[in-house]
Amino acid sequence: MSRNRFLKEIFRAFLVGTLVFIGFIAYYSLTDNTKYEYLVSDLWTEYFQTMIFSTILYMVNTFWFVFLLKRYDNFLYTAKRMAIAVSGNILVSCIGVFFARWIILTGFYDRSFQQVLASQTLENYRQPILIALGIALIFYAIWYYKYRQESKVKEQKIIAGTASAKFDALKNQLDPHFLFNSLNVLTSLIDEDPHQAQKFTTSLSKVYRYVLEQKNKDLVSVDEELQFAKTYVRLLKMRFEDSIILEIPEASSNPEAKIVPLSLQLLLENAVKHNVVNSVKPLHIRIYEEDGFLKVTNNLQEKQVVKKSSGVGLQNIRQRYALLSKREMVIDKTNKDFTVHLPMLTQQVSVVESQEDFIEDKRYQKAKERVEAVKGFYGNLIAYCIVIPCLAYLNLKTTSFPWIIFPILGWGFGLLTHGMEAFGYNPIWGKRWEEKKLRELMDKEDF
């Protein structure tokens, strides 16, 4: 446990002990006037004895809890491990009570160690252990809630990271797939018509530029894809001339509508690849909108012998849509036609985390941590404003010795440091010092 963590836990032990002591005073004032008068008759001694008990019990249970988290790597919440944890809390609490009683009896009442051992009874341990166990169980419950929340966040991060990697892998398939098929076309044209092959190469470079520009986008507008489809079909017609007939709208009815990039190119490519395309049997391709879908249909005239499909085309589009939206791509195949329904998206429902989203999430997490720190400070301040007046009243009613000054100064100093930490203010190591030190370390070559 670090020094800062140790000091924080000591402060919390002091706060818990003070609250427990005030609780005892309030309880006995209402239920047992004799016990109450006994406590307030020597309030200073009783308060410090309570603080010894609370500090020792709190710290031994805290060390035990820290040990459990390190031992089980935060995976603490199983039946077996919780049984071990609670049993350990009881054991360390017994040890803590013994040492607290030993300090009190020897320090306040001049008892010897043998007398301390002789005075041990079960009743001496019952109440402190029940209180310590109750606080420990509350601590376990709070940590479990925090653990569950962090687990949910980690689970979503893993899902997002996996989806992002998968999405990138799918998009990276497009480059070799498109280039391979285009080079096959170019190879055929070189033998059939070298002049057309030269024109095809020039057009191919323009088309491939669009492929490179769009492949890293999650979605593109329907209008962009429609324009590219026209360009790509012109490229195909360099080889097939009038054997391909394309019906395509000039623009989408909804300028905001989007589809996955290069989906039309893949569908056009598949149509040419799997169907007979010649002047006797021209391939009719129609692209149109209907019921929120962009539909691509072609007359079915399948090749008798066709190379086994790699599965990149349709499966790639389907998987990319699955990662971006709940709407699915639909395929209709009849004896005459083959139609693919591409959902036109107006709102992206994506689990792929962009760099901007990541930065925004980091900023949100940092802001959330700052808000939690400020909330903790305000809670501490409210407790201070409630507890200190109660202690001052008890001091006024019970003794002339102004012992209230000690919790005012001790707790007040802790409250001050808590506030400076919560609001990010440090009079010694301010922000300028931090920035200067960061630059100094970053400039070091061996850092």
d(CA 413, CA 384): 11
Predicted confidence at residue 354, as pLDDT, reads 46
Query: pLDDT by residue (tens digit) across 376-399?
Result: 888 888 888 887 887 777 777 766
Predicted confidence at residue 247, as pLDDT, reads 92
Query: For 388-411, what is the mean pLDDT?
Result: 74
pLDDT over 60 (residue 169): no
Q: How confident is the model at residue 160 (pLDDT cuts 50, 70, 90)?
A: low
pLDDT above 90 coverage of the chain, percent? 7
Predicted confidence at residue 447, as pLDDT, reads 46
CA distance to 66, 232, 346, per residue, from 225 (Å): 58, 10, 15
Q: Give 149 or 441, the one with higher predicted confidence.
A: 149
Most confident of 138-152, 205-219, 221-235, 337-351: 221-235
Query: pLDDT by residue (tens digit) across 285-318?
Result: 999 999 889 999 999 988 876 455 555 668 778 8
pLDDT over 70 (residue 73): no
d(CA 220, CA 345): 10
d(CA 311, CA 161): 25
DSSP 8-state assignment for residue 275:
B
Mean per-residue pLDDT of the chain:
76
Q: How many helices (H) and strands (E) does the chain have?
A: 14, 7
Q: Is 132 helix (H, G, I), strand (E, B) or coil?
A: helix
Query: For 402-406, what is the mean pLDDT?
Result: 73
CB-CB neighbours of 336 under 10 Å: 9
Query: pLDDT by residue (tens digit) across 82-119?
Result: 888 888 888 888 888 888 888 888 887 888 888 888 88
Predicted confidence at residue 165, as pLDDT, reads 45
Predicted confidence at residue 352, as pLDDT, reads 43
d(CA 265, CA 226): 10
Q: How confident is the model at residue 187 (pLDDT cuts 50, 70, 90)?
A: confident
Q: Give 298 or 417, the one with higher predicted confidence.
A: 298
Q: How confident is the model at residue 21 (pLDDT cuts 50, 70, 90)?
A: confident
Which token pair is 112?
């010897």
Query: Please, are residues 314 and 322 in contact by the beta-carbon 8 Å criterion?
Result: no
Query: pLDDT by residue (tens digit) across 212-254?
Result: 777 667 788 999 889 888 888 887 787 777 889 999 998 898 8
User: Where are the chain's structural domains?
Assistant: 1-160, 173-343, 354-447
d(CA 120, CA 282): 102
Which token pair is 306?
């066709």
Residues 136, 139, 144: CA angle, nearest 5 degrees = 125
pLDDT over 90 (residue 406): no
Query: For 323-349, what is the mean pLDDT?
Result: 83
Range in 147-161, 242-256, 259-273, 377-391 with the lowest mean pLDDT: 147-161
Question: Which string of DSSP letters, residue by residue, matches 101-126?
Answer: HHHHHHHHS---HHHHHHT--HHHHH
Q: Please, what is the end-to-end C-alpha distance for the chain in angstroms?
A: 26
Q: Does domain 173-343 have CATH number 1.20.1260.10?
A: no
Predicted confidence at residue 343, as pLDDT, reads 92
Beta bridge partners of 338: 298, 333
d(CA 271, CA 313): 11
User: Burial code of 210-224, b = ≥16 C-beta within 10 A, e = fewer?
Assistant: bbeebbeebbbbbbb
Range in 146-150, 154-158, 224-228, 337-341 with the lowest mean pLDDT: 154-158
Half-sphere exposure of 447 (CA within 13 A, CB side): 8
